[in-house]
A and B are shown apart, each in its own frame.
Chain A
Amino acid sequence: MTAQNDQPFRVKGRGALSRAGTIEFTFDGKTYQGLEGDTLASALLANGVHLMGRSFKYHRPRGVLAAGVEEPNALVGISRDKARHTPNVRASVQELYDGLAATSQNRFPSLNFDIGSVNSLMSPFFPAGFYYKTFKWPAKAWDKLYEPFIRRAAGLGDAPTESDPDRYANRYAHCDVLIIGGGAAGLLAAREAAKKKQSVILCDENPQMGGYLLSDSDVEIEGLSGPAWAASVVAELKKLDNVRLLTRTTGFGYFQQNMVGLVESVTDHLSTPPADLPRERMWQVRAKKVVIAQGAIERHMVFPGNDRPGIVLAGAAQTWLNRYGVTVGDRAGVFTACDTAYAAAFDLYEAGTEIAAIIDTRSQVGDDLLAQAKELGIEVFTGAAVAATTGNLRVNGMTVKTATGEEKQFDIDSLIMSAGWTPSLHLYSQSRGKPVWDEASQRFLPGHSPQNCVTIGACNGAQDLATVFAEAAKAVGAKPTKITVKDDVSLAGGVIGTTGPAADKGKAFVDFQNDVTAKDIKLAVREGMHSIEHVKRYTTNGMATDQGKLSNMHGLAIAANMLDKPIPQVGLTTFRAPYTPTTFGSFVAHTRGSLFDPSRHTPIHDWAAENGAAFEPVSLWKRAWYFPQAGEDMHEAVDRECRTVRTTAGVFDASTLGKIEVVGPDAAAFMNIMYTNGWDKLKPGRAKYGIMLREDGFIYDDGVVGKLSDNRFHVTTTTGGAPRVLNHMEDYLQTEFPDMRVWLTSTTEQWATIAVQGPKAREIIKPLVSGADISNEKFPHMSVVECKVCGVPARLFRISFTGELGFEINVPADYGRAVWETVWERAEPLGACAYGTEAMHVMRAEKGYIIVGQDTDGTVTPHDAGLTWAVAKSKPDFVGKRGLQRPDLMADGRRQLVGLKTTDPKTVLEEGAQIVDDPEQPIPMKMLGFVTSSYWSGTLGQSIAMALIEGGADRMGEKLYVPMPDGAIEVEVTGTVFYDPKGEKLHG
């Protein structure tokens, strides 16, 4: 398709863009030309295109209304490629680039003809909250019938369908002064702060600093035009290294203690983004002082038919003309309640746009403005209002009601309007400041700042540059500098709420995107929605993607009027982050994939991977789960691993176990407090199984503890428990027992731990050990010795979690893999295997050893778990001692850990399966307990399980049932030790 090459509404000699920068883009498949520096909206307008979107509820045709972030209508989808589709992009903000492809949204089949717009004809049936009143019958029909219909009609653009390939960056930053908004106010504040050698960050959401100065054709500052002055200040600041200038950067959120989130758009304006750049960059700024210079946002007029394409904000029209050299039409009407729209009208007139008339709701208007209009031959109607407009896909006429009540018709192709300027209180309010109503100027203004924060400029209510500059200097503690300003236009004046006699006839839109009319707001109040928060939620006013930047004040005024209450008594709704919609990507930034969470690997991990291990995630760790050989499934592999360990031996990577070194003269005393066991009698060189409780008496963690010397313990914890156990210990040590001479150090990662288990364990390691006699006599079960293994310093434990003769070799981590391989060189020829956590689980279950977190769940006491023997009765105190004495923890019928055997030995119970005594009873059944662990035991040739069962200890031999969807399974209650009950193997 060839582009129409002229841009009929581009005005020669206006704006900062050059024809030289002509580029092409498409909208709904049609190719157009625009200029570098355009926004998508200004480029479309240059081509005479106003219709850019469809509204949310009624699917009404909508044109672009604003030139900035407040735009509610012109939302488009932009796709660089399939994976890079972004919905709901504001055409007024999106910078044009060569080849940009945009599509309109929320319409079918096309923007010009949208079937959905029947909603508009039906609209009388859909007032605010209509869906609460209907769609209730028949009962089931809501989610089956009505809801799917409503869901399809609602929503705006389409969500992306593929994983986002773009990169997003994060940066934490600090500064003395953060200035948000680079208009006249922000620029001067930055200049003054920089002079005082403070570190400054100045950000503005636009591609250039300057704010409204870039849109104003008349103003003169220090002898320069607005844009030139802004440029000169920027040039000055660029030279300084204590200033960071961030354009295209939005301050979206103001958090505690001057933490402000900024998001910088880095590549969305580029035709071909360089691969090394992130799409966006998140700045998390902590500032000593924050200066808010957000400026003001112009309001639209609320009158019937105010939403036709071609009807725009006056300030926007002025911006498009003076920044982009684009006019909104050939013949414009003007509808205003303040002075700034006159400036816009005069600019358009100069640019060759006919001004049909200026309609001003005020009866008093400044003589100078009237004179200037007269001089240009522009008719001004004061005390008048626009009562209606005509035109479908574009406005083509307006009806004016004059002060004397007569009606006049005007043919127009555009209408610029201004109801005045609303100071932007967003960030100030987010900083938890409370806006204060100013009766004189009928505006909310910032009050006291609860944080070290100052608001300046238009967002602080300043209406002329002189005031703006004074505030800016003061904000950063600089003395007022005399700055000459000529031809500045005041922001004063304006109306809030409906205007004109006919506001109740037709649709006077308050919130464009959500199709909220003045009528809807009145209806809400009539139905008893007296709080502005109710009005908001009932009508959805202010809940669209522009978050009420245009609509909130109008909505408030209409509600207040209905309630016959002063505006401040009705009040504003809450301002919340983000100021403008902010991508999830910018929040996530780097933390995707491998950076989402650390993935912790042991020094032996790679060996396991090279040897085909399957891994299981345990807390942050990846642990070798099982080592399948060719053709083996998990079940077969685990069976083989267990068999091999029991008959020969196996090697197991236990490095992830938490390790804490407890050192000091009071080490034993401290252990006595932290663990239920007694530690006084334990001799150096001996080890012991310890249980740790919370103060409430429930099991918190467990592990084997080796006593290396009188004042040094090597404590092990569960893999997942390591950090919280150390924290728990530090807590008691620092705050309850600060006088104890004992200190803690995490050694989890200092040691690689290699378990060698099975009848041949000693044979495997003996030749590798030096400096210790590991014979059964000298080194019995539950011993520990510091020696050398493979020539490196080691801590060797004689312990077993499998029930077989077992050793655990701890060597410094850097040697872990080498030692493992040396052990493996000996183990493999002897027929031993490497085994993983699953086989370990099976074997420990065969022995009735518990896994904290699997056989206990935070409601289990040592007594429940059959570990009463590990609780020292005689000790005066240990954490959890008192908790254990609470009535319910001593009551009969608590769930106790027992073993289960299925009557049919082949049936393996499901972990988590529930247990009852009578499977025939009706639902809800009385559940006695549940299966905590369950495995197929190849060694025993039958299934085994552990379960927590009410009064379990007294049920030995009882038959109980596990009701499954396909019938109940009969089980017998047994002890928890299924294998080698006498423990002969352990001691072998």
Chain B
Amino acid sequence: MAKSAVKPADRAPALAGFRFANDHVAMHIAPPASRTNLRATEKGAKAFEKKLGLTLPRAPSGAVASGGKLAFWLGPDEWLLVDEKNANTSMVPKAASNEFSAVDISHRNVAFVIDGPGAANMLNAACPRDLSLKAFPVGTCSRTIFGKAEVVLYRKAKNTFRMECWRSFAPYVRDYLLEGARDAHI
């Protein structure tokens, strides 16, 4: 094989290394992760859970952290699975299934980790959702819209969010977040 081979390890995610902080919010790009888009029947979901030793949330807007992995409910037959520990190992089973579809999308998304008392305010510069703890409690995950970008928003803790978007939207999302950050204390 050619000398100048690419090592599977050296991934160059969009916005790699981006960091920002002010008095009210801090954010950075999460490290590369292994991601799978899972679409399945209930039977398939169960089978997949067994195979990978993780639990899938069944309730709308649910999220489960298990087996070192994150499983987000996106729709009645759709989950986003994230594994940051084994960023370069695909979760897609080799064998085909009649009950589910698992597709590796590790490189499709970029995740912003957002933290601080002004986090929700910053997000509400472009996200029309009610992000009060009452309406969007800790542990909620939902696909939604941020400006003109589709995002998956997960509330890890009172003031901590993880927001994933498609990689080509990341610079746009970053710029919008930076605008929101200027107002985060209001």
B47 smallest CB distance to A (angstroms): 14
Q: Is the CB of B179 within 8 A of A590?
A: yes
CB-based contact A790/B108 at 8 Å: no
Q: Which residues of A contact B40 (CB under 8 A)?
A: 743
Inter-subunit contact B5/A790 (CB<8 Å): yes
| Given A286-B130, A790-B6, A601-B98 contact (CB < 8 Å) | no
Q: Is the CB of B60 closer than 8 A to any CB of chain A?
A: no
Q: Which residues of A contact B10 (CB under 8 A)?
A: 818
Give, as a whole number of angstroms, the nearest-CB distance from B30 to chain A.
Answer: 13
Chain A positions within 8 Å of B14 at CB level:
603
In chain B, positions 92-114 with a C-beta closer than 8 Å to chain A are: 96, 98-109
Interface residues as binary, A144-159 with B (CB distance below 8 Å gives 1, 0 otherwise) = 0000000000000000
Q: Mark B167-186, 1 if CB is under 8 A from A, else 0.
A: 11101100110011011001
Q: Which of A727-766 contact B (CB under 8 A)?
A: 741-751
The yes or no answer to A172 lying at the interface (CB within 8 A) is yes
Bound Cα distance A741, B100 (Å): 8
With A172-B128, A822-B5 in contact, is A747–B103 under 8 Å at CB? yes
Q: Write the nearest CB–CB distance from A771 to chain B, whole angstroms.
A: 10
A663 to B96, CA, bound (A): 9
**Residues in A482-520 with C-beta less than 8 Å from chain B:** none
| A594 B186 Cβ-Cβ under 8 A | no
A825 interface residue (CB < 8 Å to B): yes
Would B148 and A598 count as touching, CB distance under 8 A?
yes
The B-contacting residues of A in range 698-725, CB under 8 angstroms, are 709-712
Asked whether any CB of chain B lies closer than 8 Å to the CB of A170, the reply is yes
Residue of A nearest to B78 (CB): A743
Please, which residue of chain A has its CB at the minimum distance from the CB of B12? A814
Give chain A nearest CB distance to B101 CB in angstroms: 4
Does B54 belong to the interface (CB within 8 Å)?
Answer: no
Give Cα distance in the complex from A663 to B78, angstroms: 13
Closest CB-CB distance, A869 to chain B, in whole Å? Answer: 31
Task: Identify which of A174, A598, A745 contacts B130 (C-beta below 8 A).
Answer: A174
**Any A CB within 8 A of the CB of B85:** no
Most buried by A among B39, B109, B147, B183: B183
Q: Which of A25-33, A276-284, A833-841, A955-963 contacts B (4 or more CB under 8 A)?
A: A276-284
Interface pair A664/B101, CB less than 8 Å apart: yes
CB distance from B146 to the nearest CB of A (A): 10
On whether the beta carbons of A591 and B105 are closer than 8 Å, the reply is no
Partner of B6, one of A599, A710, A815: A815
Quick check: A664 and B98 within 8 Å, CB to CB? Answer: yes
- Whether B98 pairs with A741 at a CB distance below 8 angstroms is yes
Once the chains are docked, how many angstroms separate the CA of A198 from the CA of B72? 31
Mask, A590-620, CB within 8 Å of B = 1, is 1100110111111100000000000000000
* Interface residue? A665 (CB, 8 A): yes
- The distance in angstroms between the C-alpha atoms of A709 and B172, with both chains bound, is 36
Q: Which residue in B4, B101, B148 is a CB contact (below 8 Å) of A745? A: B101
Task: Assess whether B8 is in contact with A792, with CB atoms less than 8 Å apart.
Answer: yes
B139 at the interface (CB under 8 A from A): no
Q: A598-B148, A813-B108, A814-B11 are in contact. Are A590 and B172 (CB under 8 A)?
A: no
A562-583 CB contacts (< 8 Å) to partner B:
none
Docked complex: B1-21 residues within 8 A CB-CB of A: 1-2, 4-8, 10-14
Q: How far is the CA of A738 from the CA of B66 in the complex (A)?
A: 31
Query: What's the Cα separation between A636 and B172 when bound, in Å?
Result: 34
Contacts of A371 in B (CB 8 A): none
CB-based contact B96/A790 at 8 Å: no
- Are A172 and B1 in touch, CB under 8 angstroms? no
B93 to chain A, nearest CB (A): 12
Cross-chain contact B96 with A594 (CB below 8 angstroms): no
Contact with B149, one of A598, A790, A791 (Cβ below 8 angstroms) = A598
CB neighbours of B39 from chain A (8 A): 663, 743-745
Residue A768 at the chain B interface, CB threshold 8 Å = yes
Bound-state CA distance A658–B4 (Å) is 29
**Closest chain B CB from A524 CB (angstroms):** 44
Report the minimal beta-carbon distance from A668 to chain B, rounded to whole angstroms.
13
Q: A172-B127, A664-B98 are in contact. Are A749 and B176 (CB under 8 A)?
A: no
A815 nearest CB neighbor, chain B only:
B6
* A813 pairs with B167, CB closer than 8 A: yes
Least distance between B8 CB and chain A CB atoms (Å): 5
Q: Is the CB of A791 within 8 A of B128?
A: no
Q: Please tell me if the beta carbons of B172 and A825 are within 8 angstroms of each other in the complex.
A: no
Question: Do B168 and A601 touch (CB < 8 A)?
Answer: yes
Least distance between A290 CB and chain B CB atoms (Å):
16
Partner of A171, one of B108, B124, B147: B124
Known: A171-B125, A790-B2. A199 touches B101 (CB 8 A): no
For B147, give the chain A residue with the smallest CB separation: A595
Once the chains bind, are A170 and B101 in contact (CB under 8 Å)?
A: no
Question: Chain A residues near B102 (CB, 8 Å)?
Answer: 663
- Knowing A595-B175, A770-B1, A819-B6, the reply to whether A661 touches B103 (Cβ < 8 A) is yes
CB of B172 within 8 A of CB of A172, answer no
Whether the pair B12, A750 counts as a contact (CB closer than 8 A) is: no
A745 in contact with B103 given A173-B124, A281-B183, A768-B2 (CB within 8 Å): yes
> Given known contacts A174-B130, A743-B77, is B1 in contact with A768 (CB within 8 Å)?
yes
Query: Is A687 at the interface (CB under 8 A from chain B)?
Result: no
B59: Cβ under 8 A from any A Cβ: no
Say whether A815 contacts B12, CB under 8 Å.
yes
Residue ID in chain B nearest A788 by CB atoms: B1
A748-B103 Cα distance, complex, nearest whole Å: 12
B residues near A748, Cβ cutoff 8 Å:
108, 166
Interface contact A595-B167, CB-CB below 8 Å: no
Q: How far is the CA of A157 from the CA of B107 in the complex (A)?
A: 54
CB distance from A600 to the nearest CB of B (A): 4
B160 to chain A minimum Cβ distance, whole angstroms, is 20
Instruction: Assess whether B176 is in contact with A590, with CB atoms less than 8 Å apart.
Output: yes
| Cα–Cα, bound, A792→B172 (Å) | 28
Contact B12 A603 (CB under 8 A): yes
- The answer to whether A791 touches B130, judged by C-beta atoms less than 8 angstroms apart, is no
Q: How far is the CB of A727 from chain B (nearest CB, A)?
A: 12
Give the chain B neighbours of A749 by CB distance below 8 A. Answer: 107-109, 166-168
Does chain A have a CB within 8 A of B132?
yes
Task: Indicate if A475 sits at the interface (CB-CB under 8 A).
Answer: no
Cross-chain contact B175 with A278 (CB below 8 angstroms): no
Cβ 8 A contact of B135, one of A174, A281, A664, A812:
A174
Given contacts A172-B127, A813-B167, contact A665 B98 (CB under 8 A): yes
A residues near B147, Cβ cutoff 8 Å: 590-591, 595, 598
Cα–Cα, bound, A130→B11 (Å): 73
Query: Would you call A456 an interface residue if the criterion is a C-beta within 8 Å of the partner chain's C-beta atoms?
Result: no
Residue contact B106 to A812, C-beta cutoff 8 Å: yes
With beta carbons under 8 angstroms apart, the residue of B8, B103, B132, B186 that contacts A281 is: B186
Q: Is there an interface contact between A169 and B130, defined as CB atoms closer than 8 Å?
A: no
B121 sits at the interface (CB 8 A)? yes
- Asked, given contacts A171-B124, A600-B169, A747-B105, whether A199 binds B132 with beta carbons under 8 Å apart, the answer is yes
Docked Cα-Cα span, A325 to B186, in Å, equals 34
Known pairs A590-B147, A747-B103, A815-B11; list 14 more (Cβ under 8 Å).
A174-B132, A281-B183, A284-B128, A590-B180, A594-B171, A595-B172, A595-B179, A601-B171, A661-B103, A663-B39, A663-B103, A711-B96, A790-B2, A822-B4
Residues of B within 8 A of A (CB): 1-2, 4-8, 10-14, 32, 37, 39-41, 77, 96, 98-109, 121, 124-130, 132, 135, 147-149, 166-169, 171-172, 175-176, 179-180, 182-183, 186
Pick 19 A–B contacts, CB within 8 A, sort by A. Answer: A172-B128, A174-B130, A174-B132, A199-B132, A278-B182, A281-B183, A286-B130, A591-B147, A595-B176, A598-B149, A746-B108, A749-B109, A750-B104, A768-B5, A770-B1, A790-B5, A790-B6, A815-B6, A822-B6
Those 3 A-B pairs whose CB atoms lie nearest each other, nearest first:
A743-B101, A814-B11, A663-B101
